[in-house]
């Protein structure tokens, strides 16, 4: 099922004073109507738009607010098409001011006319309203994003859409259900998190999942489905030193995990993959990625780290592609590179192609016949790294840009990624450590920094940009 588009309530404002003083002739009125239509048309291409048309009175503002509430919009977008008075905008905020808000400081064109008439000045007067009403909103101790420019500038619509995606994610996170199988990892206390604080400040609800529940769904896997999955794995990937029995059990456990996620209605799952009970009862940890998990959009993280998993959720939803659960294994100061990776279940689409992926024994549990990894290096290209830090009374995002480099078989076995960070490795590690980042990082291909900053602002989270 296709993911819904962000729903934006567009409040377009103009001052009734222009009409009352007879400054608006019919030609100017028609031009402004045309500007309004062009704004709606431009935004409707990428957004589910709920438009107020042009609002000049408090009564119209309250009517717009009622419609925004009825339509359950994700984001309020205020746009002074021409100079506007404060009261209509404040009337909207009194009704739906709890929603994320962006003010568009708009002009009809990027370039001013060579000589401006009074009607021209009226048509270009939107920035006065944006600064005026934006300042009033700030005095209410309300936060707002601020976008500057005209429809001529492609980055304006892009930035508005990024705000809208961030606002949508703020709402979606409140409905996210995370599974923790079976608990946090005791020896990694820096990954512990107050689950109520996670729910109240960011949104996801945590549901503990027992090993017994996974055993139950694993035992329900039918032989026909198991054979099909094993044959598909052997067809797509090179298999290295794995017995038939070991492959079969590894596949069964992974299918059982997919079945369990579906039964519990989970949106994401953190596996404490070194848990002794998990290995004793099932004989391995689930590492073989089942395509049904990707089709349902379920995100998987490791070592019971709910914060890194939440980071994966943020990145995956903002960029509409899979994020990788990693830790910083080591570094090379001379080459200025970080070697990151992690055992466990990873989306194979992170690799360049199927030929880069091997099914190998679980090198951390060599005595487990059914321990099977999907071993690969993530493909090269620009990446974004994210660590969510937990403080006593808040959360923060530590964000960095980097470049994933060709691995050239740098590391045996482990799913991994070789990254040249935007800052020198020494500076990166010092800054991240001082900010409270752990060893775990969510990584995604592409530049997600701007989107993460907008999300952090809406969630009122501290953000630290490294490099």
Kindly list the domain boundaries of the chain, sorted by start residue: 7-173, 177-466
| 3-class DSSP assignment, residue 329 | strand
Q: Which fold has domain 177-466?
A: L-fucose Isomerase; Chain A, domain 3 (3.20.14)
**Between the CA atoms of 150, 154, 156 and 161, what dihedral angle is there, to the nearest 10 degrees?**
140
Give pLDDT, residue 1.
46
Give pLDDT, residue 2.
62
For 245-294, how does the pLDDT look when each residue is reduced to its tens digit (9 = 90+)?
999 999 999 999 999 999 999 999 999 999 999 999 999 999 999 888 88
For 160-185, how does the pLDDT look when each residue is reduced to its tens digit (9 = 90+)?
999 999 999 999 999 999 999 999 98
Beta-ladder partners of 420 = 403
Separation between Cα atoms, residue 403 and residue 422, nearest integer Å: 8
First to last CA, the chain: 38
Separation between Cα atoms, residue 424 and residue 265, nearest integer Å: 42
What is the token pair recorded at 17? 């004073």
pTM for this structure?
Answer: 0.94
Q: Which residue has the tokens 């984001």?
A: 75
Angle (CA) 345 231 246, round 5°: 60
Domain 7-173 has CATH 3.40.50.970: no
What is the token pair recorded at 44? 């409707």
Separation between Cα atoms, residue 309 and residue 339, nearest integer Å: 20
Angle (CA) 326 328 331, round 5°: 140
What is the token pair recorded at 51? 């438009």
Weakly modelled stretches of the chain, pLDDT under 50? 1
What is residue 379's DSSP assignment? Answer: P
């Amino acid at each position: 099922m296709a993911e819904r588009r962000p729903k934006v309530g567009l409040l377009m404002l103009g001052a009734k004073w222009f009409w009352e003083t007879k400054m608006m002739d019919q030609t100017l009125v028609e031009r402004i109507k045309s500007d309004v239509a062009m704004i709606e048309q431009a935004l409707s291409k990428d957004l589910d738009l709920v438009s107020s048309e042009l609002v000049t009175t408090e009564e119209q503002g309250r009517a717009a607010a009622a419609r925004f509430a009825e339509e359950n919009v994700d984001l309020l977008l205020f746009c002074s098409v021409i100079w506007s008075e404060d009261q209509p905008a404040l009337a909207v905020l009194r009704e739906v001011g709890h929603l994320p808000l962006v003010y568009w400081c708009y002009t009809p064109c990027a370039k001013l006319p060579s000589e401006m008439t009074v009607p021209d000045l009226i048509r270009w007067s939107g920035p006065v309203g944006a600064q005026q009403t934006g300042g009033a909103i700030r005095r209410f101790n309300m936060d707002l994003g601020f976008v500057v420019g005209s429809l001529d500038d492609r980055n304006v619509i892009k930035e508005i859409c990024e705000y809208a995606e961030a606002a949508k994610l703020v709402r979606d996170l409140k409905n996210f259900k995370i599974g923790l199988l079976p608990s946090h990892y005791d020896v990694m206390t820096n990954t512990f998190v107050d689950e109520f604080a996670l729910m109240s400040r960011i949104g996801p609800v945590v549901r503990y999942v027992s090993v017994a529940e996974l055993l139950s769904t694993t035992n329900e896997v039918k032989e026909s489905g198991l054979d099909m999955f094993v044959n598909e794995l052997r067809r797509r990937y090179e298999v290295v030193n794995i017995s038939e029995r070991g492959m079969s059990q590894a596949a069964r456990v992974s299918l059982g995990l997919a079945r369990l996620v579906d039964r519990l209605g989970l949106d994401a799952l953190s596996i404490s993959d070194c848990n002794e009970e998990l290995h004793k009862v099932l004989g391995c940890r689930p590492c073989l990625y089942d395509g049904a998990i990707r089709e349902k959009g379920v995100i998987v993280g490791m070592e019971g780290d709910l914060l890194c998993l939440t980071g994966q959720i943020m990145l995956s939803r903002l960029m509409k592609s899979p994020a990788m659960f990693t830790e910083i294994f080591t570094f090379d100061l001379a080459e200025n590179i970080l070697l990151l990776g992690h055992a466990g279940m990873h989306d194979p689409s992170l690799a360049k192609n199927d030929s880069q992926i091997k099914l190998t024994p679980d090198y951390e549990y060599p005595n487990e016949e059914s321990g099977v990894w999907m071993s690969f290096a993530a493909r090269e290209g620009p990446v974004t790294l994210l660590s969510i830090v937990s403080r006593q009374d808040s959360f923060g995002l530590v964000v960095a840009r980097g470049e994933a480099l060709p691995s050239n078989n740098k590391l045996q076995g482990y799913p991994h990624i070789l990254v040249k960070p935007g800052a020198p490795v020494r500076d990166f590690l010092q800054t991240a450590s001082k900010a409270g980042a752990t060893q775990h990082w969510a990584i995604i291909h592409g530049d997600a920094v701007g989107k993460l900053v907008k999300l952090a602002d809406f969630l009122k989270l501290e953000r630290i940009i490294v490099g």
